[in-house]
Amino acid sequence: MSMTFGWQSPSNIALVKYWGKRDPQLPSNPSISFTLDACHTQTKAHFEAGQGVQVLLDGVETPSFVPKIEQFIGRIQHRHPWLADYRLTVDTFNSFPHSSGIASSASGLSALALCVVDAAQAVGHALLEADPRREASILARLGSGSASRSVYGGLVVWGETASIPGSSDHYALPFPHVVHPVFSNFCDVVILVDVGQKAVSSTAGHALMESHPFAEQRFAQAHTHMAAFKELLAQGDVFPFLDLVEREALTLHGLMMSSEPSYILMRPNTLHILEAIRRFRQETGTPIGFTLDAGANVHVLFPKEVEQSAMRFVNEVLAPYAKDGRFIEDRVGQGPLSL
């Protein structure tokens, strides 16, 4: 039997950062993210009798991606033994440029996980999780931790924590508490400071948390921050929200700088952008802030209501710090779409 399933799945940006993990790909602390919209991956997965993996990126056969997909299949096979009888062709397309420095693992692996769950149901495999979306989140997590959050839209939580009933280290779930409408249409403009390969991968960064001198304090702090976000998201006061988001981003980079060995992923222009955002916020009273993932690029966050003045600021002040002036305009999105 041969079959094809397709999903479009978005990337996400964490507000409380997952940094540090244990086997099998379980987080050392809880995290919460905004699911994005424009930055997404479209994947068609074709299953036919046989063995092996083939990957097409933008229609071009890309053997360098095969080991990553084989590793993913190897990690999920205990939940999906039926995969052993199938040859998999993954035909994938990213809406954002591959060299942009935006991680495609969250969008790509969540899209593939959703395809695998569809295929499992088509071959009559009984899912270990009754809810197919939850099963997809578990599979995506086994591929890349942050991918577990991309199977839902809006605000998404991953990792067990007291302030979020039902939260789990094994799968993500939509943030279950009241959210003020100001957060439903947040904008995220990604300023592309450095578009090359990261000097230290996220995998290596997570591993350095195992012996990090501040690990325990950091993991405890993430739980406190999750509880604080619950209040801030309900109240809708954007300034303290942005303050906490920024401290989370700088904590992530502070952990990198205080790892052993120490490393720095921010670039001089990253700092110029952070300073410019804080100055603009202070001088104009505009609710605008930043977060960072594990790289040099800056995610500029602001509510839709101030989009006009924020975009003028991005174009005039921030874009000159970007590599070739490039940035990606994104926003909070609704989550994956079946193709």
Contact status: 146 vs ligand PMV (CB under 6 A): yes
From 125-133, 142-150, 212-220, 232-240, span contacting ligand PMV (CB under 6 A): 142-150
Asked, as a colleague might, if the bond just before 132 is cis with ω within 30 of 0, I would say no
- Which residue, 32 or 238, is less far from ligand PMV as judged by CB? 32
Q: Residue 97 is which amino acid?
A: P
Looking at the chain, how many residues does it have?
339
Tell me the C-alpha to C-alpha distance, in Å, between residue 219 and each of 29, 71, 214, 258, 295: 5, 28, 9, 15, 21
What is the closest distance, in whole angstroms, from the C-beta atom of residue 75 to ligand PMV in the complex? 13
CA separation for the pair 158, 135 (Å, rounded) = 14
Span 61-100, contacts to ligand PMV by CB under 6 A: none
What is the closest distance, in whole angstroms, from the C-beta atom of residue 14 to ligand PMV in the complex? 3
Span 226-285, contacts to ligand PMV by CB under 6 A: 252
Contact status: 17 vs ligand PMV (CB under 6 A): yes
Q: Which of 107, 110, 202, 259 binds ligand PMV (CB under 6 A)?
A: 202
Contact status: 18 vs ligand PMV (CB under 6 A): yes
Contact status: 183 vs ligand PMV (CB under 6 A): no
Contact status: 11 vs ligand PMV (CB under 6 A): no
CA separation for the pair 76, 65 (Å, rounded) = 17
- Which residue, 28 or 202, is less far from ligand PMV as judged by CB? 202
> CA 246, 247, 250: angle at the middle one, nearest 5?
85
String of contacts with ligand PMV for each residue 98-127, x by CB under 6 A: -----x-x----------------------
From 1-9, 12-20, 61-69, 117-125, span contacting ligand PMV (CB under 6 A): 12-20
CA separation for the pair 9, 43 (Å, rounded) = 8
What is the closest distance, in whole angstroms, from the C-beta atom of residue 34 to ligand PMV in the complex? 11
- Which residue, 233 or 310, is less far from ligand PMV as judged by CB? 233
From 131-139, 140-148, 211-219, 319-327, span contacting ligand PMV (CB under 6 A): 140-148
- Per DSSP, the three-state class of 301 is strand
CA separation for the pair 110, 135 (Å, rounded) = 11
**Per residue in 306-322, is it b (16+ CB within 10 Å) or e — as a string?**
bbeebbebbeeebbebb
Residue 118 token pair: 């569809």
β strands within 175-297, DSSP E: 186-191, 289-292
CA separation for the pair 289, 248 (Å, rounded) = 12
Residue 126 token pair: 């009984």
CA separation for the pair 164, 233 (Å, rounded) = 13
Q: Which of 83, 142, 189, 294 binds ligand PMV (CB under 6 A)?
A: 294
From 128-136, 141-149, 162-170, 186-194, span contacting ligand PMV (CB under 6 A): 141-149
Contact status: 293 vs ligand PMV (CB under 6 A): yes
What is the closest distance, in whole angstroms, from the C-beta atom of residue 27 to ligand PMV in the complex? 8
Contact status: 170 vs ligand PMV (CB under 6 A): no
Residue 137 token pair: 């989140």
Residues that bind ligand PMV (CB under 6 A): 14, 17-19, 31, 103, 105, 144-146, 202, 206, 252, 293-294
